[in-house]
Chain A
Amino acid sequence: MSLRKEERREVVLRIFRGTGSDRSKDRYETFTVPYQKDMVVLNAIHYIQSHLDSSLSARWNCKAGRCGSCSAEINGVPRLMCKTLVDRYDGEITVEPMKAFPLIRDLVTDVSDNYRVAKMIPPFTPSVATDHVWRMYQEDVEKSQEFRKCIECFLCQDVCHVIREHKAEYIGPRFVVKAASLDMHPLDALNRSAFMKDNAGLGYCNITKCCQEICPEHITITDNAIIPEKERVVDRHYDPLVWLYRKITYRSVKQNAKQ
């Protein structure tokens, strides 16, 4: 392995090229860039822009795995280009845009639909007044803090087969995580389970855990966010005891109202 690395002198990349406004010209172009120890795919993209073809488009920002801009599919797997070492691959490396989103150009996709979905999530609503210093305890904030590591790279949205098939109905893993981060805030007043059931399409998720596997922030999306959110929906809407209790209290409220 180490011998091969020393011998490597160049990296060959096969890169998707195309424009969203005219998909008839979609194509792949091959570039050869000099190899540098521990280089990542994004370094190779930058080399191409500076030395081989400045018309190549690729969205990026921090180059440090913090902003979640440089999402792409590398040899078919959704990944951040800035965190993917070229040494992971032996031969040619294929770089393509995320397939779940409309193409803008080359490796850049239109992810604006995610921002439409973000608007749907019922926002943080404090359960206490903001006129005094709040007290919360470390063990209580930690659950929610895990979800707040999300850098919104949308790789989980890209890999999610439910989104690919039922885009309009399911908000996707990123936004279940978002809802969970608010639900698990110790001082949040809302119950989002009706929203999760009726508007978020949570029922579509059949827990294949693809999202959890590719998350660059290693958030346990399925186990810690999706499953607990599903359980909340079940507890609230399908639990027979809760259902019975509601029926009774609802009736008594109605009767009271009549009296």
Chain B
Amino acid sequence: MELWSAGSLESSAISSDDESYDTISTDVLIVGAGGAGLRAAIEAFDKGAKVLIACKSLLGKAHTVMAEGGIAASLGNVDPSDNWKVHFSDTIVEGQFLSNWKMVEIFAKEAPERVLELEYYGALFDRTKDGKIMQRPFGAHSYRRLCYIGDRTGLELIRTLQDQVIKRGIDYIDEVVVTSIFKDPATGRVAGAMAILLRSGKLLLIKCKAIILATGGCGKVYAVTSNSWESTGDGISLAYRAGAELMDMEMVQFHPTGMIFPAGVRGMLVTEAVRGEGGILTNVKGERFMEKYDPKRKELSARDVVARSIYTEIMEGRGTPNGGVYLDIRHRGAEYIKKRLPSMYAQFLEFAGIDITKQKMEVAPTVHYHMGGVRVDPETTETTLKGLFAAGEVACGLHGANRLGGNSLSDLLVFGRRAGLYAAEHARSATIGSISEEDIEKEISRILAPFKVTNGSNPFELKERVAETMWKYVGIVRNEQDLRKGLEEIGRIRLEAKHVQARGPRAYNQSWEACLSLWNMLIDCEAIIRSAIVRKESRGAHTRSDYPKKDNANWLVNIVIKQKDGQMIHELVPVPKIPPDMEKLINTDEILVWQQQEKREQLLVRK
């Protein structure tokens, strides 16, 4: 079977209650084809494993395409003093000491190799004058560290990896929804997964030795988000339901700058590169308010700081009439803006009719990234379930309480590669486990249930309600009362969600997919809210108005969520202690060294 055409158009349609399924086998099943999934596929394949990629959208459309600003790696092409140690320190410090230090060490050390490798694969980065990969400044990175291609770095990354996957002839099926992970009842190891081929509506059982989750984040649980339709946290739910542990679920990153109008694109990302290239934030009075909140780093402070500052300005009545603040890049001049920020220029012109070379942008925070996710081993990316691996946004442990811009793209490559490597290794020694008929039947009846409901609720409508609830009660500044209200409302929606209905035939039925992703989202939401209630302090992206201070004495812990007897429970696990030789590398004062250097250079020029 040519897999790329699996699930394509066939002569006859299947009836909505058809419980039959096809079966295929592979060594490593990769769920998701964004940066992490594709990089994992390349590595696993090169290590000799039989690989199958299954992704929810068409190949090459994953959320990675929307990454704009760049990929962080301490190549030191622009600032020669940069090295992995400073990158390590920046990541630990801005993660508010919640990250797994080992994961950060691996990440900072391996990121440069992964970027160069991308260039060897055929990616074309912007260049320095001496022909090396160009690097730009970004929030809370001490040096100019983000390698980029204008403001469409993610697109180049995904296309390059996609080409490598095609070149190797790696099997993939796109527009397929993985609904559940099966375990071998005897060993408790991963044995396969159930999937729906969206285009035909047929069911597919995939037997395998290892699964890599590369499903991305869960931004769609919020009403205002920069995330695409896929980001419904399917991987988190798949892992949780299979018995793996989740961690740091309360840590949801609000990107400081999202578009606020037109209403149809509310939340669409305005890249941090705008600030990296010199963009200035002002309130309605014209004050450059970041001077007040972070006089040293101003607009290039960490994302949680900038997002909270904008939120405060708006809440205290200094926002624009549209409910945002201004972001101004006009002083850079039209030519510079069009060259360095071409997509931003086009985005504002086409969607809002605003020429950013002549007019100010209006922005407000938007949900952007989930630092929390599936708990993984820092070196192998294996989850707490044998044979299940996770990489990229779905995994957890690298970014702590706040992710730095540009660190996610290098995360995809570093840990995507490691996931592929160790999953292939696991597959070499493992055999394909057995899956019980009962488990399969149960799953099929679960996923076909929405076709049996009559007069049921509309899943699209319920998804909107989930997103509004989270935005209202579990937003950028939280408190116990609101969080409890949010939890209750999610509980009510869960009851209604038992009777969601899929309408129309099985082929390309989005209402059916919406039913399944709604159920996944409800699990994600419950885990986020429960963790947010538990963490009684403010740290990084998690801000509690009832506990406004950071509390290192009590809360240098990760909140772990798991299933016990069908109930969601939590556990507090101390953050792994950083060994003294690594601790020495951490410097909390030496922030934005390059800015000081640039000032010095400017002074020298003037003299």
Binding site for B on A (CB under 8 A): 19-22, 36-40, 42-43, 46, 49-51, 53-69, 83, 102-106, 108, 110-112, 115-116, 118-119, 123-124, 126, 130, 133-138, 141, 144-145, 148-149, 151-152, 182, 185, 188, 218
Q: Is the CB of A182 within 8 A of B122?
A: yes
Q: How far is the CA of A182 from the CA of B166 in the complex (A)?
A: 15
Contact of B124 among A64, A65, A106, A141 (CB under 8 A): A141
Give min CB distance, A116 to chain B, whole Å.
7
Q: How far is the CA of A20 from the CA of B199 in the complex (A)?
A: 10
Q: How far is the CA of A161 from the CA of B428 in the complex (A)?
A: 50
Q: Is the CB of A119 within 8 A of B264?
A: no
B95 within 8 A of A: no
Q: How far is the CA of A113 from the CA of B507 in the complex (A)?
A: 18
Please give, as numbers and ranges, the residues of chain A lying within 8 Å of B503 by CB-CB distance. 53-55
Please give, as numbers and ranges, the residues of chain B lying within 8 Å of A123 by CB-CB distance. 122, 163, 166-167
Contact of A43 among B4, B127, B264 (CB under 8 A): B264
Give min CB distance, A72 to chain B, whole Å.
14
CB proximity to A under 8 Å, residues B550-595 = none
Known: A62-B63, A66-B152, A69-B57. 9 other contacts (CB 8 A): A38-B261, A38-B351, A43-B264, A49-B510, A55-B509, A61-B228, A65-B350, A119-B169, A135-B130
From B167, B459, B504, residue with most partner A Cβ within 10 Å: B504
> What's the tally of chain B residues with a CB closer than 8 Å to chain A?
73
Q: Is the CB of A19 within 8 A of B510?
A: no
Q: How far is the CA of A119 from the CA of B165 in the complex (A)?
A: 10
Q: Is the CB of A134 within 8 A of B265?
A: no
In the A-B complex, the 10 residue pairs with the smallest Cβ-Cβ separation, listed nearest first, are A38-B262, A55-B504, A135-B131, A124-B122, A55-B503, A50-B460, A54-B511, A43-B264, A62-B228, A130-B120
Q: Give the nearest-CB partner of B68 in chain A.
A: A66
Q: Is the CB of B263 within 8 A of A37?
A: yes
Q: Is the CB of B229 within 8 A of A20?
A: no
Give min CB distance, A52 to chain B, whole Å.
10
Contacts known (A21-B10, A38-B261, A119-B166); A61 close to B504, Cβ less than 8 A: no
Contact of B229 among A51, A61, A115 (CB under 8 A): A61
Contact of A135 among B132, B156, B459, B501 (CB under 8 A): B132
User: DSSP class of B's interface residues: helix, strand, loop or mixed?
Assistant: loop
Q: Is the CB of B351 within 8 A of A83?
A: yes
Q: Is the CB of A64 within 8 A of B352?
A: no
Q: Is the CB of A38 within 8 A of B505?
A: no
Please give, as numbers and ranges, the residues of chain B lying within 8 Å of A218 by CB-CB distance. 346
CB proximity to A under 8 Å, residues B108-141 = 116, 119-122, 124-127, 130-132, 134
Q: How far is the CA of A53 from the CA of B458 in the complex (A)?
A: 9
Contacts known (A21-B10, A123-B163); A66 close to B508, Cβ less than 8 A: no
Q: Is the CB of B460 within 8 A of A137?
A: no
Contacts known (A123-B166, A145-B149); A57 close to B504, Cβ less than 8 A: yes
Q: How far is the CA of A103 from the CA of B10 in the complex (A)?
A: 11
Q: How far is the CA of A152 from the CA of B59 in the complex (A)?
A: 10
Please give, as numbers and ranges, the residues of chain B lying within 8 Å of A39 by CB-CB distance. 262-264
Give min CB distance, A217 to chain B, whole Å.
8
Give min CB distance, B124 to chain A, whole Å.
5
Q: Is the CB of B121 within 8 A of A124?
A: yes
Give min CB distance, A194 to chain B, whole Å.
19
Q: How far is the CA of A36 from the CA of B263 in the complex (A)?
A: 8
Contact of A144 among B124, B166, B510 (CB under 8 A): B124
